[in-house]
Amino acid sequence: MTDIPAVYAGSFDPVTNGHMDVARRARDVFGSVVVLLIGNGCKRPLFDEAERLALLQEAFKGERGIRVEHAQGLLTDYLKANNLRVLVRGLRGAPDLEHELLNAHYNKLFYSQAETVFLPARAEYGFLSSSAVREAVRYGADVSPLVPACVARALKAKLSD
């Protein structure tokens, strides 16, 4: 384990057990991790930013070495402002790799100190995505094995309105 804080950024709409696993594994490697909620203008979220932040805070409550933060704008601006340089990204498979490599190159272009580390998803989470969870809930599926309990409750409440 090192003492270099890592940043695990995403839109987390909603946070899944796969996200939780990547954050914990990053903490175990780097000593601490910032789970950073950051907007993605290409996505239409189910939960607004305040709701997602609250869900992340509840999901990670009491987790040593993990703190939840929120930022606007470019991820590299957040890194620079906080004197951070290590980004952690989870990969489920080849399509994720292509997308994440592109992001890693842009992050390096905008902040030469940025380094991206990829963690492969555990087999049990290799299929898991926030969009699949949202879709399953819309059809009445029980997603409680896939997400933290607070998220399962929030999804049920949100989609029953």
pLDDT at position 159 is 79
pLDDT at res. 161: 60
Domain boundaries, the chain: 6-160
Q: What is the largest CA-CA distance in the chain?
A: 46
Q: Which residues of the chain have pLDDT under 70?
A: 1-2, 41-43, 161
For 38-48, letters b (16+ CB in 10 Å) and e give beeeeeebbbe
Give the three-class secondary structure for 37.
strand
- The whole-number pLDDT of residue 4 equals 87
Residue 39 has a pLDDT of: 81
pLDDT for residue 28: 96
State the catalytic residues.
19, 43, 92, 130
pLDDT of 94? 87
> CATH 3.40.50.620: does it fit domain 6-160?
yes
pLDDT of residue 95: 85
Q: What is the DSSP string of 68-92?
A: EEEE-S-HHHHHHHTT--EEEEEE-
Q: And the tokens for 132?
A: 């699949």
